Amino acid sequence: MFESLLITFHETLGAVLVIGIVLSLLWRLGRLKLRCAGVGDGTGIRRRRNLMPSLKHLVIILAAVSLIGCEGKKDQQEQKVLNIYSARHYGGDADLFGAFEKQTGIKVKVIEAKDGALRERIRREGKGCPADVLIMVDAGNLGMADRDGMFQPTQSAALIEALPENLRHPQGHWFGFGKRSRIIIYHPGRVKAAELPTYQGLTDPKWKGRIVIRSSSNIYNQSLLAAMVARYGEQEAEAWARGVVANMARSPQGNDRAQIKAVASGEADLAVVNHYYYAKMLASSDPAEVKAANAVAIHFPDQGTDGKGAHTNISGAGVLTHAPHPESARRFLEFMASPKGQQLFVSVSHEFPAAKGVDVSYPMFPPFKADILPVAKLAEHNPTAVKIFDRVGWR
């Protein structure tokens, strides 16, 4: 609003100056006509020459006013742009951006790449980075960007009101807009529901040679282990990681879909994956993925009375430190936290909405209890989790 008031002031000031100059010029021309009765004595010519400085000043002032108006319009146009770097790769965010454009008139420009590539690009661009907003998947990735000083604090009562405290950075550097759970996939023909483990139960020797999971370089696993560090301490978290390695059916390989396929094919009995991969495979255009998803079942761990709830992580975003359009960026974050924005943010990814009071249900997932551990802890303990993985030989 301040920018629009400033532009209006500039335009009004310009108009007043132009009117004043024209009136002054007309007044001087009138005086000249009255005082110049003849031309033969050279007096009129001399007086017309005296008028020349006023004309020169008029040109200068008109140019200055024109520049003021142009700069005001330029600033106004620049505030109607929002540049986004996004690590989300779900393909449906175009609807989210389009809805924001329609509601605000702000043109959205997006560059998509993987989290690490975007962080490297921002480092390389430095203060000249054109991006306003960085969208990333996983609190661990957001934490790495924040440790590099890439985010600025965003003050917004709307964001604080809409988003639970445990799903946003304590100083407003980034905010979670979509929730994801790390769940257990099992083969119902070889595992009984009654014997399904908690996260800690994955270390039970009875699961030896029966578990598949991604590599330690995967940020989802790093955040799961970081949650263990935050909850139980480094020593117990290391014991857990060592126990899972001992029970692996194969060396870590492939993505979360590959783990689900391994359980479906009988290569393993349990897999640890993010919940939305299961939903995506059910809805896949690939018959092999649909068949694999239908051959397995899902389990949200730690649901008992004493359980902490299923591990919860986020997709999130923040305003970049050198954002050229911070006001537009704040408005976009607030839009993503609105009921309409939340629906659009999670509809394609099959994540759960982060905002309070927004309900999006999926028929393939039962109601479940989510862990309320602050996701900022996942970012905080990420370096420790990486070191533990190295020590226990989780490749």
Output the 3-class SS for the chain: CHHHHHHHHHHHHHHHHHHHHHHHHHHHHHHHHHHCCCCCCCHHHHHHHHHHHHHHHHHHHHHHHHHHHHHHHHHHHHCCEEEEEECCCCCCHHHHHHHHHHHHCCEEEEEECCHHHHHHHHHHHHHHCCCCEEEEECHHHHHHHHHCCCECCCCCHHHHHHCCHHHECCCCCCEEEEEEEEEEEECCCCCCHHHCCCCHHHHCHHHCCCEECCCCCCHHHHHHHHHHHHHHCHHHHHHHHHHHHHCECCCCCCCHHHHHHHHHHCCCCEEEEEHHHHHHHHCCCCHHHHHHHHCCEEECCCCCCCCCCECEEEEEEEEECCCCCHHHHHHHHHHHHCHHHHHHHHHCCCCEECCCCCCCCCCCCCCCCECCCCCHHHHHCHHHHHHHHHHHCCC
Q: What is the pLDDT of residue 304?
A: 86
Do residues 81 and 133 lie in contact, with contact meaning Cβ atoms separated by under 8 Å?
Answer: no
Nearest CA to 114 among 228, 218, 7? 218
Q: What is the pLDDT of residue 54?
A: 52
d(CA 108, CA 328): 10
Do the domains spanning 81-177+314-360 and 180-311+384-392 agree at the CATH topology level? Answer: yes
Q: What is the pLDDT of residue 37?
A: 45
Report the DSSP beta bridge partners of residue 337: none
Tens of pLDDT, residue by residue, the chain (395 residues): 444 443 444 444 444 444 444 345 444 545 544 444 444 444 444 444 444 445 455 444 444 444 444 444 444 445 689 999 999 977 678 999 999 999 999 999 999 999 999 999 999 999 999 999 999 999 999 999 999 999 999 999 999 999 999 999 999 999 999 999 999 999 999 999 999 999 999 999 999 999 999 999 999 999 999 999 999 999 999 999 999 999 999 999 999 999 999 999 999 999 999 999 999 999 999 999 999 999 999 999 999 888 899 999 999 999 999 999 999 999 999 999 999 999 999 988 999 999 999 988 899 999 999 999 999 999 999 999 999 999 999 99
d(CA 211, CA 231): 23
Report the DSSP beta bridge partners of residue 271: 185, 212
Q: Which residues contact residue 92 at a Cβ distance below 8 angstroms, ignoring those fewer than 6 apart?
A: 344, 347, 348, 349
Do residues 319 and 330 lie in contact, with contact meaning Cβ atoms separated by under 8 Å?
Answer: yes
The CATH label, of 3.90.180.10, 3.50.50.60, 3.40.50.300, 3.40.190.10, for the domain at 81-177+314-360 is 3.40.190.10
Q: What are phi and psi of 135, to 5 degrees?
A: -105, 130
Distances (CA, A) of 345 to 104, 140, 191: 17, 20, 35
Do residues 185 and 297 lie in contact, with contact meaning Cβ atoms separated by under 8 Å?
Answer: yes
Nearest CA to 281 among 306, 249, 300, 259? 259
Burial class from Cβ neighbours inside 10 Å (0-12, 13-18, 19+) for residue 316 reads: buried
pTM value? 0.80
**Domain ranges (residues) in the chain:** 2-78, 81-177+314-360, 180-311+384-392
Q: What is the pLDDT of residue 51?
A: 43
d(CA 313, CA 77): 37
Q: What is the pLDDT of residue 176?
A: 98
Question: What is the architecture of the domain spanning 180-311+384-392?
Answer: 3-Layer(aba) Sandwich (3.40)
